[in-house]
Structure 1
Amino acid sequence: MKEQALNDKTELRQLALDLRKQNQEFQALHSQVTQQVADRFYEARQRFFEGLANKPKKKKPHRYLSLVYPQSGWKLSDTREVGQGKNKKRKARLYLSKIGFFTLVMHRELPENQVSQVCVKLNPSGRIHVIFLVEEPESQELSSKEPKKAVGVDLGITRLATLSDGRYLENPKPLERSLERIRLLQRRLSRKKFLSNNWLKAKRRLAKQYEYEHVKDLRRDLFFKLGVLLAQEYDVLVLEDLNVQGLIQSGTKKRGRLRLYDSSFSELRAVLEWEFRKRGKLVLPVPAYNTSRECFLCGGINKGLTLEDRVFHCPYCGFTIDRDLNASLVLLKRAGWEPPVVPEELRPLPPLPSLGLKRRQGVAMIQEAPALERG
């Protein structure tokens, strides 16, 4: 029995265009947007064959929340500055073929002649974001200057990040703080008829709570601000090569697994690495094994150290220091760097408002530009 040959990318694009001609509802899409849907399926299939992802599944219509204009079908116009002082914003009008005009809040200037792709993304909360993909030469070449300052960063649940210079950042635990409200909204959603107007409203309320009121935006904003802060002060970033998925799977307590998810170590590491590498600075991952139990001074292993112990005491040389600070110093040492001085005590990083966050009724809230508006 002969195996059926798989369609290549060109054949899938033509199939998508043929389906568009047969279905009047699909004709509301621009032709290149239709072809890009075929490209997504082709790429998902290739990733499955290469063992990088699971088998592609059919996506339900109410879960398909983005469209991509590869080359044409869009146009920016009427770019202007509005407001004064802190309220000053850059706005523009965006025309999308088959959809209409929108008013955008531009977060940064971009060369329109270098835009290769425009992605319109509808978040579950109802916010719309437009992402412009700009082709430009990569700036990931290492700086020609010899690195002078390095920082080791130990990630944890109690303290999100402990630096080898003695500073630390407390874990805001945004998901854990808003869990009660999220559970209440989930119960309300479960009582609604699936895909009814009330179900969609309840789902948007839940998405707003999770997405930008307490959890996702707070976390990402904090990670990026921390990355900028470290990249401006240091030339080398030393991180432990954590197997986060293994930590989550090996967790025995539900609360522990929740806090691992809430800390989002993988996302934090990715953001820190990106902030350093885009500036041409060095990132050194080192093995995470026994970083908390190894003595920074003599290298001895304290086998009796437990997760409840917050102070490290070396049974060989008597060196005593905070557990997380010792781990960050060990990371730095494993990467071949020695700190100029060993910090005697921990001190917190600047308070959250100076990192772009504001406190409101005991919860950190993010100040960001409003999303895209229909106009």
Structure 2
Amino acid sequence: TGKSIVKIAGRRYLYLPKLGYIKTSKTGVLKDVKIKRYTVSLEPTGKYYLSIQAEVKAPQKFKKTGKQVGIDVGVADLAILSNGLKYPAFEASYFEKQSRIWQSKYSRRRHLAYLLCEQDKHQKVLNLRSLESFSNWQRARKLKASYQKKVANKRKDYLHKLTTHLVRQYDVIAIEDLKVKNLQKNHCLAKAIANASWSMFRQMLEYKCERYGKELIAVNPKNTSRICSKCGFNSGAKPLEIREWTCPNCQAHHDRDINAAVNILYKAMPNGQELAVVNS
């Protein structure tokens, strides 16, 4: 870590006081900014990353559109909007599969290398082998880290594009105030919820709404999937496999997720439709 001045030496080249000239990327975004601190870190993939703390101008606010939307999050579809639009959950099956394969190979090769190291100690050989000396284990470690990093990068890229699009399109965004950690205690859904990245999705919406002059409202999700958005009738709890239902009071047919998104928007709007609670 350093506090000295970092200079742009040319296209894709930076000058770091302690390291000299290095080749990097995205030097164009550093124009007209004041760099205060930098950190160079080595990732498990074997690549070096440069993190920069900089002072930049306040970003330009997005234009007002006069639109409001409620968003219900899910597993199959990450974001379901009150206007009927659905955005699918992040999917990178190939890289996730490769990550699992190399995780298994990594664990097995590391265990075998550990046994050989212990065997050397037991036999009291002169030149003891270390875990770092086993090239197969090192290769598996780097490949495992590489595929895991690709999955993480692709997920973050997808969420950035989706959240920026939503913030650009809507002035007021209403979402559920979910306790993700509590939901992940359900072992049947924990992996799917973690893969959907609900927490990261909300965090991005929060800071982007603040940055670009939009409003984010978190509402209590209680009964949002049970109440009819047409008449306010509470039809009670429904199993997760039921994705569509018909209100027994007004006979309106609902998509479960879209109906929940509409109710979330109603809860967020102070002058919106008041949801009646009618016992079934």
Normalization by structure 2: what TM-score? 0.80
Verify: 1:120 aligned to 2:40, yes or no. yes
Tell me, in whole angstroms, the C-alpha distance in 2 between the residues paired with 1:114 and 1:96. 16
Question: Who is 1:302 aligned against?
Answer: 235
Q: Secondary structure at the match of 1:105?
A: coil
The one-letter code sitting in structure 2 at the alignment partner of 1:209 is Y
Question: Who is 1:365 aligned against?
Answer: none
Tell me, in whole angstroms, the C-alpha distance in 2 between the residues paired with 1:301 and 1:135. 51
Normalization by structure 1: what TM-score? 0.61
Question: Relative to 1, partners in 2 of residues 1:334 and 1:147: Cα closer, same or farther, differing over 3 Å?
Answer: farther
Superposition deviation, residue 233 in structure 1: 1.2
Q: Is the 8 A contact 1:119 1:131 kept in 2?
A: yes
Structure-to-structure mapping, 1:1-375, within 5 angstroms? 68-69=1-2, 71-72=3-4, 75-80=6-11, 91-97=12-18, 99-106=19-26, 108-110=28-30, 114-136=34-56, 148-174=66-92, 178-190=95-107, 191-192=109-110, 193=113, 194-196=131-133, 198=135, 199-212=137-150, 215-249=151-185, 251-253=186-188, 256-336=189-269
Question: Relative to 1, partners in 2 of residues 1:196 and 1:276: Cα closer, same or farther, differing over 3 Å?
Answer: farther
% identical equivalent positions: 28
Q: Secondary structure at the match of 1:129?
A: strand
Which whole-Å deviations, capped at 9, do the CAs of 1:64-118 have from their partners, x for residues lacking one? xxxx22x21x5323223xxxxxxxxxx1223241x44311111642356622211
- Kindly tell me the number of residue pairs found equivalent between the two proteins: 251
Q: What is the aligned-residue RMSD (CA, Å)? A: 2.6
Which whole-Å deviations, capped at 9, do the CAs of 1:126-151 have from their partners, x for residues lacking one? 333222212357679x99x9872111
Q: Is the 8 A contact 1:223 1:272 kept in 2?
A: no
Q: Which runs of 5+ in 2 are unaligned?
A: 114-130, 274-280
Tell me, in whole angstroms, the C-alpha distance in 2 between the residues paired with 1:179 and 1:217. 12
Question: Who is 2:118 aligned against?
Answer: none
Q: Is the 8 A contact 1:115 1:132 kept in 2?
A: yes
Which whole-Å deviations, capped at 9, do the CAs of 1:15-54 have from their partners, x for residues lacking one? xxxxxxxxxxxxxxxxxxxxxxxxxxxxxxxxxxxxxxxx
Superposition deviation, residue 285 in structure 1: 0.6
Q: Is the 8 A contact 1:276 1:283 kept in 2?
A: yes
The one-letter code sitting in structure 1 at the alignment partner of 2:155 is R
Tell me, in whole angstroms, the C-alpha distance in 1 between the residues paired with 2:28 and 2:265. 36
Superposition deviation, residue 230 in structure 1: 1.1
Tell me, in whole angstroms, the C-alpha distance in 2 between the residues paired with 1:293 and 1:196. 60
Superposition deviation, residue 231 in structure 1: 1.5
Question: Relative to 1, partners in 2 of residues 1:138 and 1:112: Cα closer, same or farther, differing over 3 Å?
Answer: closer
